[in-house]
Amino acid sequence: MSSTKKLYIETYGCQMNFSDSEVVASILTKEGYQLTEDIKAADLIFVNTCSIRDNAEKRVINRIQEFKHLKSLKPSLQVGILGCMAERLKENLLQDQKFVDLVVGPDAYRDIPRMLNESMGSRQMANTILSEEETYADIAPVRLDSNGISAFISIMRGCDNYCAYCVVPFTRGHERSRHPRSILNEAKDLVSKGYREVTLLGQNVNSYHWEEGDLKVNFASLMKMVADLSPLLRVRFSTSHPKDISDELIEMIAVTPNICNSFHLPVQSGSSSTLKRMKRNYTREMYLERITKIKSLIPDCGLSTDIIVGYCGETDEEHGETVSLMQEVGYDFAFMFKYSERPDTLAAKKYADDVPEEVKGKRLDEIIKLQQQNSHQSNLKDVGKTFTVLVDSVSKRSKTQMSGRTDQNKVMVFDSLEARLGQYVQVKCTHCTAATLLGEIVNYLE
């Protein structure tokens, strides 16, 4: 084993990138590589990258520069860049980062072994060809940083929505769904290994569709198929596009006990006029109608969202509509960002990035403060209630406490007592912060 080459992978960005890193790890372990967490011991370093915001790209570029020193100390070291930045900036990366050996786009991971062999003679290699078929359905991911309890299953790749601000369709290609049989096989394998929770993953899971002969599977039916594998398996999903949330999906979640009652439903803006410029294909009213439907069928449902402030042309009035929507919905938590113009998107070509940075900053501060209030109010409503929690980790603050998530995707911390990782326990919430529920175990389940 001492002669086995060592692979180090560092991943940035969305959960899809982490899922892709697990695919790459699987491909390379079959080629004889051994995973390592010690970057100095690595013979091969891969950085899986994100292009969603300018700051994300700058962070990765700065990190890549650190590998140049490692390569000077170990000339045989190979360095590769994977993912969205590889797809978007191939020529620039090859030209500006001369020490980089490989640049590999999201659909070219199967080609990595060949590229590694051909780059050994200090030759830079690149493959950023996008595919309309590749889903890596036959590759069993190597679970990186896994707790052995929760795992992600990629059910589709790419995106066809072309929101005006987003680079994903350009960096990940057209939308294509994975065969349901391969998804179920992966889920069955996880269940057999003792996993208790899976999250079905895609850029827009609601548009999942597979049709082959008499077999027709949409996202709602796929969720049910996975949930039916075991009553002890929790099923979650991410991410949803509001325009594709169907009544069928909401109704199915409402009546299926082991599909978690939580929706991450990115609104991006509470203004219909801004949403139109964003090319989101729904209005404020349409979005709120879906929220009303969810709340009516699943009264205790957890709700979270994504919000962008300072988008092209956003007025004070339009920003105010986002604030009022947040107040009306009362999200449990939210991911909030300032608009970051991305090259080659429709927004970059058609609209001026004309909201001053100072204004963006003030608007972001305002909604962050509002969301902290909303989160705290939401958590206060849970005090006194009892929740089923899947124990997934030891608390970061104290080894005498453990934590897990409720059905509504809220973090609950409690004294460990006799609880074990991977166990379901019933926990009574006794108090809370804006970010966390705190409680005590009242019952031990399976």
Q: Could you tell me the pTM of the whole model?
A: 0.93
- Distance of alpha carbon 49 from alpha carbon 16, whole angstroms: 11
- Note whether 268-380 and 386-444 share their fold: no
Where are the extended beta strands (E) located within 310-409? Answer: 333-338, 386-394, 401-405
Give me the phi and psi of 367, to 5 degrees please: -75, -30
Q: What does the radius of gyration of the chain's CA atoms come to, in whole angstroms?
A: 23
Spatial separation of the C-alpha atoms in residues 40 and 70, rounded to whole Å: 7
Q: Rounded to whole angstroms, how far apart are CA atoms 414 and 387?
A: 12
Q: Where are the domains of the chain?
A: 6-127, 146-260, 268-380, 386-444
pLDDT of residue 1: 39
Question: Please, what CATH class does the domain formed by 386-444 belong to?
Answer: mainly beta
Q: What is the enclosing helix (H) or strand (E) of 425?
A: strand 424-432
pLDDT tens, position by position, 36-83: 999 999 999 999 999 988 888 999 999 999 999 999 899 899 999 999
Condensed to tens digits (0 to 9), the pLDDT of residues 86-101 reads 999 998 898 888 889 9
- Neighbouring residues of 254: CB distance < 8 A, sequence distance ≥ 6: 261, 297, 298
Q: DSSP letter string over 77-110?
A: -EEEEEEHHHHHSHHHHHHH-TT--EEE-TT-GG
**Predicted pLDDT of residue 3:** 61
Task: Work out whether the CA dihedral 325, 268, 157, 237 comes out positive or negative.
Answer: negative
pLDDT band of residue 436 (cuts 50, 70, 90) is very high
Name every residue whose Cβ is closer than 8 Å to that of residue 194 and which is 6 or more positions away in sequence: 148, 149, 422
Which residue in 14, 323, 279, 65 sits closest to 162, CA to CA? 279
- Average pLDDT of the chain to the nearest whole number: 95
Domain 146-260 CATH class label: alpha beta
Pick the CATH number of 268-380 from 3.40.50.300, 3.30.420.40, 3.30.70.930, 3.30.750.200: 3.30.750.200
Domain 6-127 falls under CATH 3.40.50.12160:
yes
The single-letter code of the amino acid at 86 is: A
pLDDT tens across 378-411, in order? 999 999 999 999 999 998 888 889 999 999 999 9
pLDDT band (50, 70, 90) for residue 33 = very high
Residue-level pLDDT at 121: 64
CA–CA separation, 101 and 285 (whole Å):
50
